[in-house]
């Protein structure tokens, strides 16, 4: 079974957005044993779309189309497919009701053109869209499968996960399953040296490392027949890797560091408060993105000004005068101060120089102090992060999260 992904949208051809949908769908299809042989992109133009669709039908078994399901005249996907397969567009009442309900909940009038989104080629299998007004659909015809999905990734992805992954799993003969081991605190080349023999010795499952801003991920991929268990194939390899690099593996489930830390805090009921300076709210934002965190996340102060450090966090003016706002001493007083003010188990602080301005020879851009205050004392860590403002802020948050994680894993709670 080979597949082609056909994206429809002039915005792609103008270079306004990258075709990340094709990347996402390709990765997911490969996991269920569907080979993607082609990607194509065509604009909102009826004739050219028809030609592309005909080429795709000629060479591919499965065609996944994204985009062109909106309410405007530009949106031509269903119209073109219905013409090619000679299937009339018919009103799907249930979809219409959902679209109407959608607008009702928003307390906005539904405009006439939205009705178009409830029309589908005859006998199409409808794919509900929980995040937007454009449902998708599947057409099975002459041994071909054509899938139509909306273009916005936030709508497309859940539809793909909920409906199409099971659909193709059912159709496919074998499975390719990957697990992602996420690692912080060991560089890519150091890691490779530690597990080189495993990487080279394995054929199924395979092990592939790749580096991402400040951290490394190992992808473990097993290919198996439907009746086999990929988990069983992967477990010994994962156990061996964990044996070699220990606590640096922070997730075997492709969770990111804030999810892991958020879940640790919530499950053990450890309360926390933050005092952020150079990260400007990024760490708060990451942690408060975890559902259920409000039980343990008390507050954060984004103390961009010295007054805020003094007033909200109880940092002594003489500490700032003597050592500077970016110093071990200020970081420690910030962590202690936010913990005292909020009466939480943990108080964590960040103060540093994110750049592009503000650096000096003594205190260069990328210098950051992190402090963690808890019932047994206050610890401070100095780090030097390379890169631009964004990278410094992002990587600093990883260090902060890992400090919290390692502190909790010490077993004081």
For the segment 15-34, give every residue that binds a second copy (CB under 8 A).
15-20, 22-30
Task: Determine if 382 is a binding residue for a second copy (CB under 8 A).
Answer: no
For the chain, the distance separating the N- and C-terminal CA atoms, rounded to the nearest angstrom, is 52
144: burial class by Cβ within 10 Å (0-12, 13-18, 19+)? middle
Task: Determine if 387 is a binding residue for a second copy (CB under 8 A).
Answer: yes
| Minimum distance of a second copy from residue 103's CB (angstroms) | 9
Return the residue of 8, 32, 34, 52 that touches a second copy, per CB under 8 A: 52
Q: What is the pairing mode between strands 346-352 and 249-251?
A: unpaired
Rounded distance between C-alpha atoms, residue 266 and residue 295, angstroms: 7
Binding positions for a second copy, 174-213, rule CB under 8 A: 178, 180, 187-190, 192-193, 208-213
Task: Determine if 299 is a binding residue for a second copy (CB under 8 A).
Answer: yes
Binding positions for a second copy, 389-408, rule CB under 8 A: 389-391, 393
Task: Determine if 94 is a binding residue for a second copy (CB under 8 A).
Answer: no
Rounded distance between C-alpha atoms, residue 37 and residue 62, angstroms: 10
Nearer to a second copy, 236 or 289 (CB): 289
Which residue stretch of 86-94, 160-168, 261-269, 279-287 sits at the interface with a second copy (rule: CB under 8 A)? 279-287
Which residue is listed with tokens 């399953």?
Answer: 177
Nearer to a second copy, 111 or 143 (CB): 111
Nearer to a second copy, 125 or 256 (CB): 256
Which of the 8 DSSP states describes residue 114? G
Q: How far is CA 24 from CA 19, 153, 160, in A?
A: 9, 9, 10
Task: Determine if 283 is a binding residue for a second copy (CB under 8 A).
Answer: yes
| Minimum distance of a second copy from residue 206's CB (angstroms) | 10
Give the residue from 128, 132, 75, 127 showing the smallest Cα distance to 103.
Answer: 132
CA-CA-CA-CA torsion sign (395, 281, 295, 413): positive
Task: Determine if 219 is a binding residue for a second copy (CB under 8 A).
Answer: yes
CA-CA-CA-CA torsion sign (301, 215, 232, 236): negative
Return the residue of 88, 91, 101, 113 that touches a second copy, per CB under 8 A: 113
| Minimum distance of a second copy from residue 225's CB (angstroms) | 20
Which residue stretch of 99-107, 259-267, 328-336, 401-409 sits at the interface with a second copy (rule: CB under 8 A)? 99-107
- Tell me the CB-side half-sphere exposure of residue 214, using CA atoms within 13 A: 21
- Residue 366, SS3 per DSSP: coil
Nearer to a second copy, 291 or 377 (CB): 291
Task: Determine if 288 is a binding residue for a second copy (CB under 8 A).
Answer: yes
Rounded distance between C-alpha atoms, residue 72 and residue 78, angstroms: 12
Nearer to a second copy, 87 or 381 (CB): 381
**Which structure tokens are listed for 411?**
């077993």
Task: Determine if 308 is a binding residue for a second copy (CB under 8 A).
Answer: yes
Rounded distance between C-alpha atoms, residue 217 and residue 224, angstroms: 22
Task: Determine if 91 is a binding residue for a second copy (CB under 8 A).
Answer: no
Binding positions for a second copy, 137-156, rule CB under 8 A: 152, 154
Which residue stretch of 162-170, 233-241, 351-359, 368-376 sits at the interface with a second copy (rule: CB under 8 A)? 351-359
Task: Determine if 281 is a binding residue for a second copy (CB under 8 A).
Answer: yes
b/e burial code for range 198-223 (CB count within 10 A of at least 16 → b): eeeebeebebebeeeebbbbbebbbb
């Amino acid at each position: 079974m080979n597949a082609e992904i056909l994206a429809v949208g002039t915005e792609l051809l103008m270079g306004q957005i990258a075709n990340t949908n094709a990347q996402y769908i390709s990765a997911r299809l490969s996991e269920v044993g569907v080979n993607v042989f082609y990607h194509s992109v065509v604009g909102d133009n009826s004739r050219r779309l028809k030609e592309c669709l005909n080429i795709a039908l000629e060479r591919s078994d499965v065609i996944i189309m994204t985009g062109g399901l909106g309410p405007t005249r530009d949106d031509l996907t269903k119209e073109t497919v219905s013409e090619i397969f000679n299937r009339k567009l018919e009103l799907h009442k249930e979809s219409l009701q959902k679209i109407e309900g959608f607008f009702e909940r928003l307390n906005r009038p539904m405009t006439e053109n939205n009705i178009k989104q409830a029309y589908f080629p005859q006998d199409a299998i409808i794919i509900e869209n929980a995040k937007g007004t454009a449902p998708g659909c599947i057409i099975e015809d002459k041994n071909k499968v054509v899938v139509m999905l909306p273009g916005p990734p936030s709508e497309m992805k859940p539809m793909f996960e909920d409906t199409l992954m099971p659909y193709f799993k059912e159709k496919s003969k074998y499975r390719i399953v990957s697990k992602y081991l996420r690692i912080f605190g060991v560089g890519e080349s150091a890691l490779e040296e530690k597990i080189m023999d495993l990487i080279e010795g394995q054929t199924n499952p395979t092990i592939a490392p790749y580096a991402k801003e400040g951290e490394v991920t190992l992808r473990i991929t097993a290919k198996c027949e439907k009746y086999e268990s990929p988990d069983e194939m992967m477990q010994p390899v994962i156990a061996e890797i964990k044996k070699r690099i220990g606590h640096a593996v922070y997730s075997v489930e492709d969770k990111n560091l804030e999810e892991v830390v958020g879940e640790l805090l919530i499950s053990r009921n450890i309360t926390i408060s933050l005092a952020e300076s150079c990260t400007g709210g990024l760490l708060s934002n990451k942690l408060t993105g975890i559902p259920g965190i409000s039980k343990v996340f008390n507050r954060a102060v984004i103390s961009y000004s010295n007054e805020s450090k003094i007033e909200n966090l109880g940092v002594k003016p003489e500490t700032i005068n003597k050592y500077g706002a970016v110093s071990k001493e200020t970081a420690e007083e910030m962590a202690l101060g936010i913990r005292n003010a909020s009466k939480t188990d943990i108080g964590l602080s960040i103060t540093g120089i994110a750049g592009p301005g503000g650096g000096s020879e003594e205190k260069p851009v990328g210098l950051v102090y992190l402090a963690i205050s808890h019932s047994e004392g206050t610890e401070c860590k100095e780090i030097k992060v390379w890169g631009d403002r964004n990278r410094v802020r992002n990587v600093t948050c990883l260090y902060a999260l890992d400090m919290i994680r390692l502190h909790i894993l010490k077993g004081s709670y």
